Structure 1
């Protein structure tokens, strides 16, 4: 097995076995287990693997593996976290901008991405703002309707 594959497996094992909320914490655990990598390499690894961060009552946000994301999304939708976190939407050209409560944009963006709506290509998230990239063939009203299916009562800004 290659060093990269070994490292990916170790990252998965660490994330599955304990709550890790920072790259520094993950780097420290990797180092203890003989994997000395830079923060930049770890960041690329996490992106390539598809690791995401989800809300956690104890630690704020923790890393989860891609196979755990759908489980996390189901949990989030059960507690209405994404629905209650969105404040408003505003449109410009081929984009929609969603405003969320501070710290929730990443989780809401993940929720939108995993809904796999044909009207939406993808999202980019900051702390409290999400850029929703719309497909060209859909009008603003179509995008608003799609977002309202996920976030009933969503208001335009």
Structure 2
């Protein structure tokens, strides 16, 4: 049942611009899968879905895992399109994004596998990254600013 539901989720997000868990749950329920928002939330994590900017500027869910060799370019584009500011405090980097894009930025940072980043936590429009030390936090910030062409 779970794998069939996961397949349906992928199908739905590829066919429709779905931007909320509630909308995804409603579409799944209409398709015969009786789910709650909590189940959809777990499925989103399991499928490693993230939000990306759609053609109309609204965010939507997308599958970004299992991407081709263009993965770095795709994630770089997500970072470029979503980042609004970068601040460093000690070994922490606080990244501001356009609303709804913090999870996508955190997923992009995770996928880039920068050795300086120990981990990140995303809210709606803010990501907090933890680096190993102050110097590595500065290094990450400079790399991100390079992507934004702020340097």
Give me the TM-score of the superposition, normalised by structure 2: 0.79
| Distance in 1 between residues matched to 2:72 and 2:101, nearest whole Å | 13
Residues 1:44 and 1:54: Cα distance change in structure 2 (over 3 Å): same
Name the counterpart of 2:105.
Answer: 108
Residues 1:27 and 1:72: Cα distance change in structure 2 (over 3 Å): farther
Which deviations, in whole Å up to 9, do the C-alpha atoms of 1:63-109 show, x marking residues without a partner?
00133767686346348324xx23231214x4322234544433332
Matches within 5 A, 1:16-95: 16-58=14-56, 60-67=58-65, 74-75=73-74, 77-78=76-77, 80-82=80-82, 85-92=83-90, 94-95=91-92
Larger Rg: 1
Name the counterpart of 1:140.
Answer: 134
**Could you list the runs of 5+ residues in structure 1 that have no partner in the other structure?**
none
Q: Is the 8 A contact 2:106 2:121 kept in 1?
A: yes
**Could you list the runs of 5+ residues in structure 2 that have no partner in the other structure?**
none
Q: Give RMSD over aligned pairs.
A: 2.7
- How many residues align structurally? 147
Give me the TM-score of the superposition, normalised by structure 1: 0.77
Shift of 1:126: 1.9
Determine helix, strand or coil for the equivalent of 2:19.
coil
| Distance in 1 between residues matched to 2:77 and 2:98, nearest whole Å | 18
